[in-house]
Structure 1
Amino acid sequence: MPTPRLAVFAVFLFNGALFLSWAARMPALAAQVGATEATLGLALLGASVGLALTAPFAARVCTTVGARKLIIAGVVVTVLAVPSLTLARSPLQLGLILFVLGSCGAALDVGMNVAAVAVTRSLDRPLMPQFHAGFSVGGLVGSLGAAAAANVGWGLTRHLVTVAVIGTLAMAWVIKAVPGVTGETADTPKDDRPVLKRPLLWLLAVITLFSAIAEGATSDWSALFFVNERGLSEAAAAAAYAGFSVAMAAARMFGEPVQRRLGPYRLLASGAVVAATGLALAVLVQEPAFGYVGFAFVGLGLAFAFPVIMDLAGEAGRRADGTGGEREIGLVTTVAYTGFLIGPPMVGGIAHVSNLSFSLGFVAFVIALMVPAVLLARRSRNRELTRLGADSTRP
């Protein structure tokens, strides 16, 4: 029986692996349904809409049934929906199936983060970046698997069915060790601070929004970028995303000393500079090798954005008894999902009137906007601490 820490890490890995398994085969899916860049962007909107609409409902369900049962529901539907992508014959059908996958992703995301919080509190260790590294490792596994499948000539059906079977067996092994925690109870101390009126939380949400737009653009459009703009094969294009995943996973897994030295706000700002520079390099230099390096920089720069923001949001909502932060994390997460909602169709729409290089260049500009938002968030946090007459408990 695996430990709860390993089990939750495995759920993060499962989520990333299945997501990137189909995302890295986007050129084949686009050809299967006869999608243009514009119609493919609209189809990809289905996943983001499912994610955004389901997330609040999933959070309420989690408080009732617990994280483990919510994860089980998400896993069951996901392993059925992923192979169903091969049945799509039009952009509309692809969008509907992606809507189901997005809804499953929301359930998995809420359940695994609630379970991760339970593990970090029980062990009293800041393990959230490592758990999110599991998603990055899963993305690497999924993208490399997609590259291998394309290289040996596997069709979409054979590839995605194999992925679903492997994922089902892995989750069956670990699921009993996942904490079956629920949210607030009747005995939980209440916090009446107005979440929607706190500038700090909105600034943190904006930072996560920009990061989500960048991550969504990278996962959904990188393969097509290398095929259409750099003339690579589908296998080479799928492998290009591996650099992004490796850099992000390594930074999250082994970057704790850097996080301790820089502190959360300087880490977020410097990461945004690295990511924006990397994406600009990928789109401005025609040599494919620079594209690989550039996307690796994007992964490195964005590695800590989501877990660090979740940590800061939770800290902003901490109550006197050491609990709290659920509402704050919920607000930031909801806004982040908006980034996944608007990112893919935005990139597709801009690419339709120009090209993917220009479109991804605009995404680099969006990443750069994280820097002033981080500076304003740090100032807002200092003002809150001054008003409260308290010191921050984190670096």
Structure 2
Amino acid sequence: MRDRVAVFTVFALNGLALGSWASRTPALSTHVHASPGVFGLALLGASIGMLAAASVAGRIVERAGARAVVAGSTTLAAVSLVLIGFAPNVPLLAGALLVIGASVGLLDVAMNVAAVAVERRTGKPIMPVFHAGFSFGALAGSLAAGLAAGHDWSPARHLTVAAIVAVLVLLAVVRAVPGSRPEYVAEAAPARAPIRRPVLWLLAAVALCSAIAEGASSDWSALLMTAERGVGPGAAALAFAGFQLVMAFSRLAGTWAQRRFGPTRCLVAGSALAAIGLLVTATVPVAAVGYVGFALAGAGLAASFPLALSLAGDAGKRGDGTGGEREIGFVSAVAYTGFLGGPPVIGGIAQVAGYGMAFVFVALVAALILPAALAARRSRRREDAAAMVGR
């Protein structure tokens, strides 16, 4: 159980870092005297750093081992939290966000590789449970940020404390994280690069659609509820909280669901449920229905991203039981483009046609997970059949 607890804790630390700084954006923008537009450009630094790091993280993990990358990237993320808190102006804040984005990009791939290693050791499909750790960590970080703001803690003080806690927790669990030595063997490397495998492009499409739909629900749910459903800011925040809570608890049930129905059926059912929930939220002008719709979306999207990464790791498995680092890195890098492209597209639709139509678009994106998952299963079967013929 030590490696399972350690990997779950690392996922929670990643969520804690995000919840800590993202929840203090109002105070951070005030501290650096940034207008909304300028502050939005600064926030792009995190997405750019994440995407750039994820594109090379697979190779780094393959050579250095998941444990070393988890330790280094988590430490770098903790340092970045301090830099964010103390940044005196917009350029330095953007630079600090770029660094934390890069560290999180490395950490995301490394912790998912470690999670796949635990799945292989136990023979249990527990990837969604690890991602539940991220959700609970993000919630804990948000709650702690709220308490810090309520007690008039500056971002510098709050994020420094959060960084110290993260490093102490990391020291307590890092030795139990799988991947203590490099597992890369040149002659055992996959014959085909990830970019040349259709199954990985399809799994990347699943992860990309999930990232766009999840990001939209997190970033725009409160705005929809206040602008078009007539609720106050406090009540509107409950839509985001409900989405995150339902997603977290649904991920805890992911192992049972995957064992009972299989990963593809879970992806198909989740896609349909998320699309229905988002479509109802977008089209029915009743606040209560909006809350229910976002809860359904949280349940439906809960397994999409973790299952896409788990299946990518399985697609890269070598005969000696190792492998999958490059495949997970490739799928993650494609998915992270959703964090760059999603907000401007959704914001543009909302500007022209309103938040309701924007969420109709998000519902369509969530629905695309269904055909991508089915196509990925067919593509993997064709690969397996071709490999058998080749033998």
> Per the shorter chain, which TM-score range?
0.7 to 0.9
Moved more, 122-131 or 209-218: 122-131
AA matched with 2:371: P
CA contact (8 A) 1:21 1:143 kept: yes
Aligned residue in 1 for 2:201: 202
Aligned residue in 2 for 1:35: 35
Structure 1, unmatched stretches of 5+, are 391-395
AA matched with 1:35: S
C-alpha distance in structure 2 between counterparts of 1:7 and 1:214, whole Å: 29
Structure 2, unmatched stretches of 5+, are none
**C-alpha displacement of 1:135:** 0.8
Aligned runs of 1:80-159 on 2, under 5 Å?
80-87=79-86, 93-150=92-149, 156-159=155-158
Deviations for 1:337-369, whole angstroms, at most 9, x for unmatched residues? 222232233333444445444434322221122
Residues 1:177 and 2:176 aligned together? yes
**C-alpha displacement of 1:183:** 4.3
Moved more, 292-301 or 22-31: 22-31
Aligned runs of 1:1-395 on 2, under 5 Å?
3-30=2-29, 33-36=33-36, 39-87=38-86, 93-150=92-149, 156-186=155-185, 189-226=188-225, 236-389=235-388
Deviations for 1:289-315, whole angstroms, at most 9, x for unmatched residues? 433332222221111112211222233
The structure-2 alpha-carbon separation of the partners of 1:20 and 1:353, relative to structure 1 and needing over 3 Å to count, comes to: farther
Aligned pairs, number: 388
AA matched with 1:303: A
The structure-2 alpha-carbon separation of the partners of 1:281 and 1:182, relative to structure 1 and needing over 3 Å to count, comes to: farther
Deviations for 1:164-215, whole angstroms, at most 9, x for unmatched residues? 3332332232223323434443376243135433322211111111111122
**C-alpha displacement of 1:14:** 0.7
AA matched with 1:112: M
C-alpha distance in structure 2 between counterparts of 1:175 and 1:271, whole Å: 33
CA contact (8 A) 1:50 1:101 kept: yes
CA contact (8 A) 1:27 1:224 kept: no
CA contact (8 A) 2:58 2:330 kept: no
> With structure 1 as the length reference, what TM-score do the two structures score?
0.84
**C-alpha displacement of 1:27:** 4.7
CA contact (8 A) 1:115 1:181 kept: no
- How many percent identity over aligned positions? 48
Deviations for 1:31-79, whole angstroms, at most 9, x for unmatched residues? 554433x555433322111011112333333344432332222222322
The structure-2 alpha-carbon separation of the partners of 1:82 and 1:241, relative to structure 1 and needing over 3 Å to count, comes to: farther
**C-alpha displacement of 1:103:** 0.6
C-alpha distance in structure 2 between counterparts of 1:236 and 1:214, whole Å: 21
**C-alpha displacement of 1:113:** 2.0
Deviations for 1:238-272, whole angstroms, at most 9, x for unmatched residues? 55422222222212212323222322222111111
> With structure 2 as the length reference, what TM-score do the two structures score?
0.85
C-alpha distance in structure 2 between counterparts of 1:90 and 1:276, whole Å: 41
Deviations for 1:141-169, whole angstroms, at most 9, x for unmatched residues? 22333444455665544543443333233
CA contact (8 A) 2:11 2:130 kept: yes
CA contact (8 A) 1:62 1:182 kept: no
C-alpha distance in structure 2 between counterparts of 1:353 and 1:89, whole Å: 35
C-alpha distance in structure 2 between counterparts of 1:234 and 1:90, whole Å: 28
Deviations for 1:203-240, whole angstroms, at most 9, x for unmatched residues? 11111111111222233444555566556666555554
AA matched with 2:108: D
Deviations for 1:65-102, whole angstroms, at most 9, x for unmatched residues? 43233222222232232244345576655433321221
